[in-house]
A and B are shown apart, each in its own frame.
Chain A
Amino acid sequence: MSKINDIYQEVILDHNKSPRNFKQLENATQHLEGYNPLCGDKLTVYLYVKDGIIKDISFLGSGCAISKASASMMTDKLKGKSKSEAEDIFQSAHDMLTGKMKNDDDILKQGNLAALSGISEFPMRIKCATLAWHTMRAALNGTHQPVSTE
């Protein structure tokens, strides 16, 4: 059960069971829908950005444990970050999820995000984990077109 334990770690199962910031943001300055046509999973990311800072971030939607945990951890990680910090974190997270991570990435050492690193061993599940991140980034950049993983 080694590989399977890597992906279904306790911290991921916990975020799946009790996702953080799992709500609609009433005062959102931007929000965007992300969609994975392969599995039909959908989520919406809400952002409240003021003075270039992500003051608040949340998400809603249906998806597997991986997509929910990834989205939940992302919202935890990005709250209070500037837009450029969020872009750096996106790059680090994306590299990690797609298996291109440098081992000494400081950004990921803080917090729980490193728990998602096992996903890169499961090619069919990478898109589950990256959906929320792509959606967040597109929302932050002011895109209005829903994001699709395909």
Chain B
Amino acid sequence: MDKILQKSFDINQIRNDFPILSKSVNNKPLIYFDNAATTQKPKHVIDAVSRFYESENSNVHRGVHDLSQKATAIFEESREKIRAFLNAKESSEIIYVRGTTEAINLVARSYGGQFLNEGDEIILSAMEHHSNIVPWQQIAEEKRLILRIIPINDEGELLLDEFEKLISIRTKLISIVHVSNSLGTVNPVKHIIDKAHECEIPVLIDGAQSTPHMAVDVQALDCDFYTVSGHKLFGPTGIGILYGKKQLLEKMPPYQGGGDMIRSVTFEKTTYNVLPNKFEAGTPNIAGVVGLGAAIDYINSIGLNLITEYEQDLFKYASEVLGNLEGLKIIGKAANKTAVISFLCGDIHPHDIGTILDHDGIAIRAGHHCTQPLMQRLGLTATARISLAFYNTKNEIDSFAETIPKLFKIFS
């Protein structure tokens, strides 16, 4: 692995690290404001994936030949990098999955399948992504479980008093998003975990939108499960992480059967492998793991604390600029937010906003953001959304602001 060293937060240098940021869209310089959907990849990640396929490619955990040993070493080095990134106690608590969706499905199937029974309750919140609703609905339907939903206020914040009222002797699991993809709300997950643990209820935290923007320490949080998306963390698609406390993962049954997750197989009986392999059936996304490891190296070279600081400054600026645009209404005004701004422009449909901004090279997301229950709660069918990353700039926000009056003019 190449060493990458960066001493200070140099935005020009950072932008140069991302090849796509110098591209044009519709003959305009790309302004990429759709980072909550997926983030762009630094050259360091792209090169690591290329290098793997060019000179290191092999299957892991199997071959006795040189390449396989190298591939296995890189694969496991990445796991250690992720362990350190999340400050997990042991690297065996880091399970490679396809993404946060699969991570939640794994817990719902394996933990839910084994330990939840008819009448048990699972607490979710009103701002969950469909990926933290549907897996629970599926297991709830099969096992006659009950889902309880923490309501939110109009600003897009969880009502913690209501949360406490939902906890009962029947509550057997809580699964909550750390940062809302639609609104940017940062939820007080530490408080929720502490309350849950008073009643010995395990808690899963969906970290898809938090890990790219803030330092996360799973031991300090004391969460039981934490999920990470690789492609939202400047890494490749198709790779993500489930963190789980060892004592929980050990008593959970495998999620999928196949190669690599076994210790021995006969037609009479199969014994399962130890953690983390027990949950990693089949040949994994090795290049994805390599890319994710490189993404973490890259983030560490800048420093998550500097990233958070820069993004919060950008967010403050964007909030002021957007707040001053006539006719633009910001949806979601939680006190603690990442740099995500959902908005409406009069009665112009978000999809029309998206198409017109795209014409100026500005990529935003428009729609329900896979949070239809949240949209219903807010009385909306869709919003337009900008979601920023540390390679975005105030100049880009100014360019965005200049297109909004044009938009109103078209629909006047």
Contacts and interface: CB of A to CB of B under 8 A. Distances in A.
B372 A40 contact: yes
Contacts of B348: 65
A4 B411 CA distance: 12
Interface stretch (B45-53, B62-70, B175-183, B352-360): B352-360
Nearest to B380: A40
B345 interface: no
Contacts, number: 48
Nearest to A13: B411
Contacts of B148: none
Interface in B193-244: none
A1 B349 contact: no
B409 to A, nearest CB: 11
B352 A64 contact: yes
A78 B28 CA distance: 41
A8 interface: yes
B20 to A, nearest CB: 19
Q: Which of A3, A39, A124 lies at the interface centre, i.e. has the most chain B CB atoms within 10 A of its CB?
A: A39
B382 A4 contact: no
B349 A40 contact: no
A38 interface: yes
A39 B368 contact: yes
Interface residues of A, number: 22
Interface in A115-133: 122, 124-125, 128
B349 A63 contact: yes
Interface string A13-54: 100110000000000000000000011111000000000000
B382 A40 contact: yes
A8 B382 CA distance: 20
A42 B26 CA distance: 30
Interface in A57-105: 62-66
A14 to B, nearest CB: 11
A129 to B, nearest CB: 11
A138 interface: no
Nearest to B372: A40
B367 A66 contact: no
Given A39-B382, A65-B411, A125-B351, A4 B368 contact: no
Contacts of B351: 39, 64, 66, 125, 128
B410 A13 contact: yes
Interface string B352-389: 10011001000000111000100100000110000000
B359 A4 contact: yes
Contacts of B381: 39-42, 62
Contact of B359 (A3, A17, A39, A65): A3
19 contacts: A1-B359, A4-B359, A4-B410, A7-B355, A13-B411, A38-B367, A39-B351, A39-B367, A40-B367, A40-B372, A40-B382, A42-B381, A64-B349, A65-B349, A65-B352, A65-B411, A122-B355, A125-B355, A128-B351
Interface of B: 26, 348-352, 355-356, 359, 366-368, 372, 375, 381-382, 410-411
Chain A to chain B: the 3 pairs with minimum beta-carbon distance, closest first: A64-B349, A64-B351, A4-B359
